[in-house]
Structure 1
Amino acid sequence: MLVLDTAHLPLAERAEAFHAVAAGESGSCSIEQERLDAGMWKRLEVWNFGPLTLFATHGTGMRIWRTPRHARFDSMNSVSVITQSTGAGRFVWNGHQRHVEQHDLVLAHKTAGYEYAWSGPGLSVAFMVDADLLGMPEHLVRAAIPLMSVSNLTPLLLHHIRALHRDADHISADPGAAAVGEATLALTRALVASVSTDRPVRRAVAEETLLPRILAYVRAYLSDPYLTPERIAKVHNISLRSLYRLCEEGGLSLEQWIIRRRLEGARRDLVAPEHAHRSIEAISRSWGFSNPSYFSRRFRQAYGVTPRQWRRFPPAASAG
């Protein structure tokens, strides 16, 4: 949901307007804008997913920082996960510095203070959650901050955040939005625990978050036609029987869940302007459907129209 676009404001008012909205949405902070007198621009979108808030900040470069002093004047004790979808960012915390490219993410704890910046045109997508709702001891969260790049769960959470942002308007309006937020927190807990030296915590969180991690893995490989239950079980070091039991306890059929997610991706791409040059068959293959007839049949069963009808008349198809 769009909350601010400074393009509609006089240049002299843009920085102050952005600061006021950003602080109101995410808490006390200091912000320094790039190109303040030569076309500074920001577009801020915010969505709520139950316990967490997702932010997308587009525009010219800036530097934002939070210190323990900011925290003392703010009731929010939050943890954030920050990504850079466009451009290159820079993260600084307690002497730890790193560049943030499009394949990276960083973890920030508000009371610990941090700085985040980028230069030139950019897009940063981040989510914030109350530290208590994350459910991890503060010392483990802080210890994990400089170790995010070494966890094999980082790509899964990054892919999840990108997918969440891509469909944020649709998902946030869905009755299941809070459940999506809870799944995101589970992945974040698993990521923090994965770099922890506390073995009991690591083991307990790994067991607690197994299903969200499996579903995140599946989302990341939906386009692979060789994604099978056997492969999923092997990657997560569990038996096929355990995989099916876990999914059943979670209230889902794994095969049907995979097909539904693939259909949703194909339906989105069929009407996306950037995919207008691609054939229906090419789009279906890119979402793991190797048989065009099977894809068309399942698409019609799910949405009441054929892929070709959806592509030609998406509003009418949506109504049906």
Structure 2
Amino acid sequence: MSPESSTPEPGRQLSDTLYTTDSVPPDQRLTYWRAALSQTFAAMDIAVPDEICSGTIRTSRLGHLQVATVQGDSLRARRTPQLIARSKDQHLVVKLLVKGVARVEQDAREVHLHPGEIVFCDMARPLRMEFPHPFQTKSLVLPQWLLGLGESDLQRLTATPVRPDTTLGSLLSPFLTQLVDTAATYPSATGEVLDRHVVDLLTVLVGERLHQEVGDTPSGTRVLLPRIQVFIDRHLADPDLTPDAIARAHQISVRYLHKLFQTEDVTVSRWIQRRRLQECRRELARREAAGRTIAAVARRWGFTSAAHFSRVFRDAYGLSPAEWRDSAARALRIPPSPSCVSEAAVA
């Protein structure tokens, strides 16, 4: 499948891509549309009311992130266990409905969306979406690991509507719209900087939403835990950042500190290590960090032993820091291929 791509204007990213059914023969449009959607988000099983469908997808990249505007006729899409097993896409999609209505099912929940509402979709688990009328969406696609969310957090986040009259919705909806509409105008270096700022903002907003939704958590915990997590992020580079130091800084006992983190299903020390690993992984993937040694990056984020860092990095991500840096460098040098997705992705 070849996308219809306009010639990039000066300063635009070369990764700006347009898929459109306009120039595709009617009897081939469904196959083309299925492949375009699968390549943009993940392998999907697509059904439309009739074989003559139409649609347009415009995508751009910002470092590790991808943004997309999709406009099309009615359709039903399924992310089945079989497709998940074949493609193993570990992406989170933040989807804003601009036009039409939608129904999304995931994690035993069903949500009906109207224009201006947002939904989070985990492409690593079964998913159903239906757009019964012509629609338009704006989406942010990012690797799951960038947000550092555990399985339980993801399950609480998916298929729950983010309304425009909520704190998260009032901030995220206009931000997502602006980001998607302007992404293609940024030079690649600017896109990489925006990448981490977008992730930082999304992490804060999602974290606040998750804490607000824990109905059985005392109000003091809902306020104190996010504050402590921000404190940890600000002091990650300090090798002396310990539960004792954190408890003293917030005038609470170490025992109470550990109790606060029980809601996260992780110990305080593990939380610190996970956040350090996430920052190291993000820095190792940045072009501007290519001249720094892996040991220097580890020290920058509070690891005192390079050997210990390499061991826990491999345990967490399944490859060494050097292997991750090499794979990320290749991904930044080589734009996404516009070639057709495999038959497994469209079956």
TM-score band w.r.t. shorter chain: 0.5 to 0.7
CA-based RMSD of the aligned residues comes to 2.5
Post-superposition Cα deviations, 1:31-61, rounded to whole Å, max 9, x if no partner, equal 1124434xx1011111101121111111211
Aligned match for 1:33, one of 37, 48, 56:
48
Amino acid at match of 2:191: A
Aligned match for 1:2, one of 17, 25, 30:
17
Equivalent residue number for residue 202 of structure 1: 226
Listed as ranges, the matches of 1:3-82 within 5 Å are 3-37=18-52, 40-82=53-95
CA 74–11 in structure 1, closer or farther in 2 if over 3 Å, else same:
same
Q: Which has the higher helix share?
A: 1
| In structure 2, distance between residues paired with 1:87 and 1:176 | 33
Q: TM-score, normalised by structure 1?
A: 0.58
Deviation at 1:134, TM superposition (A): 2.0
- How high is the sequence identity, in percent, across the aligned residues? 15
2:87 is paired with a residue whose SS is coil
Amino acid at match of 1:22: L
Q: Within the alignment, does 1:99 sit opposite 2:112 as a pair?
A: yes
1:48 is paired with a residue whose SS is strand
Equivalent residue number for residue 137 of structure 2: 124
Post-superposition Cα deviations, 1:52-83, rounded to whole Å, max 9, x if no partner, equal 11111112111212133321111321111111
Cα contact 1:52–1:129 (8 A) shared by 2: yes
| In structure 1, distance between residues paired with 2:138 and 2:33 | 16
| In structure 1, distance between residues paired with 2:60 and 2:122 | 20
1:177 is paired with a residue whose SS is helix
Q: Within the alignment, does 1:178 sit opposite 2:192 as a pair?
A: yes
Deviation at 1:148, TM superposition (A): 4.5
2:22 is paired with a residue whose SS is helix
| In structure 1, distance between residues paired with 2:113 and 2:173 | 12
Q: Within the alignment, does 1:193 sit opposite 2:194 as a pair?
A: no
- Number of aligned residue pairs: give it: 207
| In structure 2, distance between residues paired with 1:31 and 1:209 | 42
Q: Which has the higher contact order (CA 8 A, sep 6+)?
A: 2
CA 88–146 in structure 1, closer or farther in 2 if over 3 Å, else same:
closer
Q: Any unmatched runs of 5+ in structure 1?
A: 211-320
Aligned match for 1:89, one of 102, 105, 121:
102
Deviation at 1:205, TM superposition (A): 5.2
Q: Within the alignment, does 1:144 sit opposite 2:168 as a pair?
A: no
Cα contact 2:42–2:123 (8 A) shared by 1: no
Cα contact 1:31–1:64 (8 A) shared by 2: yes
Moved more, 108-117 or 201-210: 201-210
Q: Any unmatched runs of 5+ in structure 2?
A: 1-15, 235-347
Q: TM-score, normalised by structure 2?
A: 0.54
